[in-house]
Amino acid sequence: MTFELTKDYLDHIQSAIEAGDDTLLRTEMEELFPADISGILYELEPEPAHYLLSLLDKPVGAEILANLDPTDRTNLLKTFTSEELAPFINQMDSDDAVDLLNEQPIQVREEVIGLLEDREQARFILDLLHYDDSVAGGLMQKELIKINVNLTVNACIEEIRQQAEDVENVYAVYVVDDVGKLLGLVSLKKIVLARKTTRIDDIYDDDVVFVETYRPVTEVAEVMRKYDLDAIPVVNIQQRLLGRITIDDVVDVITEQAEEDIQVISGLSGEVEEDDNIWQRSKIQLPWLVAGAVGSLLAATVINGFQSELGKVSALAAFIPIIGSTGGNVGIQTSSLILQSLADTSGLSTTIAKRLLRTLLVAIINGLVVGLIAGTYTFLIGEPRLFFVVATSLLAVVLLASFMGTITPLLLNRIGINPAVASGPFITTANDLIGIGVYFMIAQWLLTEV
């Protein structure tokens, strides 16, 4: 049965905290999953949350701290001393420990590392601290199971038993040579089924996918997606095994990327949090809103330049919205498909010429259908002379919007700019301006006899 955090239950927990009823709190928390306890901590002030967290078993508390939102975690840990924090760090995977410590002041970070009882954990953390979090080295954890290629299966099993104590999930057993160079991996199934005297050299698989420490995390995520991996080993330049990256960390990277792309596509110039103050949210949203307003003002200027045409045929104004919205929608649809294809690097590359040709053919079909529908509407409202104006304009707008939606992200990607910025308000505003201009120029051309 899933846990649902209600106001009554939260009041119950807060009352127990205020009363210092440790027995009740421990009993209540033992019934919950770590994720459920995290939900309670989010609703508490830092001091009560500190008190509740201190009552939990250290492995449970470590799991909760590792998965808390970084902003909330930083505020919570301000109430902890280094002596209180060190036991939780002792229980974390090295990559999670490094993420948490990187959020702390340098003094706290050094004090905690010095207080760790597990000195191997301290060494792992020090090894990882110098990697940037944008590369594979900053994403990897040091905990894994590795065995020497010269061992027998019997010796390998004993080695696995010893190493597995510090490894939460065993996805694979990595095989290395005498200097620690990654040679391959061996499945647990092969180890279990092989004779005890069989050498690992005879049963391991040397066809192993790995990444170097300097590889961007986006590339790591793509490799793991392409080969459907639960974990991937990380090596240095000499291909010595240093750590591994697990699927849960890659999911976090993919989620963060998706959130950033959605914000950029939505016209947000920075990271938005729900609890940001009014000025922060305004500062993030305002640049694109101003850009959109300027584009709209330019479109209004274009319309104003064709007042004579509007004076002659006032019904032209009725079709301005469909011209603008169609161009914007087509531009966003096309750019989204291009962004999707750019993100999928696993397939064969397609030249710009082929992309444009495919886009042109689709745009012609879409433009003809939409144009005919809108043109038919001109008969229904009693303006048959606008049939060719509206139909031709929509065809032209769809073609131009498709071209812009294709070429803009491709060009931005070519010059090294995040192509996601080509979507949203940018393309919508640009297509509004171009579409309305094209519409009135076609109207001026086809209605010169009016």
Helical segments of 44-152, H only: 46-54, 58-67, 70-77, 82-90, 94-102, 106-115, 119-129, 136-139
Contact assessment for residue 378 and residue 384, using Cβ atoms and an 8 Å cutoff: yes
CB 88 within 8 A of CB 65: yes
Percent helix, percent strand, percent coil in the chain, to nearest 5: 70, 5, 25
Rounded Cα distance between 182 and 205, Å, is: 11
pTM over 0.75: no
Unique residue bearing structure tokens 């209004």? 300
Q: Quote the CA–CA distance of 372 and 387 in Å, as a whole number.
A: 8
Record: fold of 146-250: CBS-domain (3.10.580)
Task: Tell me the two tokens of residue 200.
Answer: 């690992």
User: How confident is the model over 335-365, as pLDDT tens digits?
Assistant: 777 776 666 555 445 566 777 788 888 888 9
> What are 219-245's pLDDT values in tens digits?
998 899 889 898 999 999 999 999 999
Q: Confidence band (pLDDT; 50, 70, 90) for 450?
A: very low
Pairwise CA distance, residues 412 & 165, whole Å:
49
Q: What pLDDT was estimated at residue 264?
A: 59
Instruction: Please report which confidence band the pLDDT of residue 267 belongs to, taking 50, 70 and 90 as the band edges.
Output: low
Domain(s) labelled CATH 3.10.580.10 in the chain stretch across 146-250
User: Which residues of the chain form CATH 1.25.60.10?
Assistant: 7-139
pLDDT of residue 344: 59
Does the structure show a pLDDT above 50 at 192?
Answer: yes
278-446 topology per CATH: Tetracycline Repressor; domain 2 (1.10.357)
Tokens of 80: 């902890």
* pLDDT band at 200; cut points 50, 70, 90: very high
End-to-end CA, the chain: 73
Specify the fold of 7-139: MgtE N-terminal fold (1.25.60)
Instruction: Cite the residue boundaries of each domain of the chain with CATH code 1.10.357.20.
Output: 278-446
CA distance 364 to 369: 9
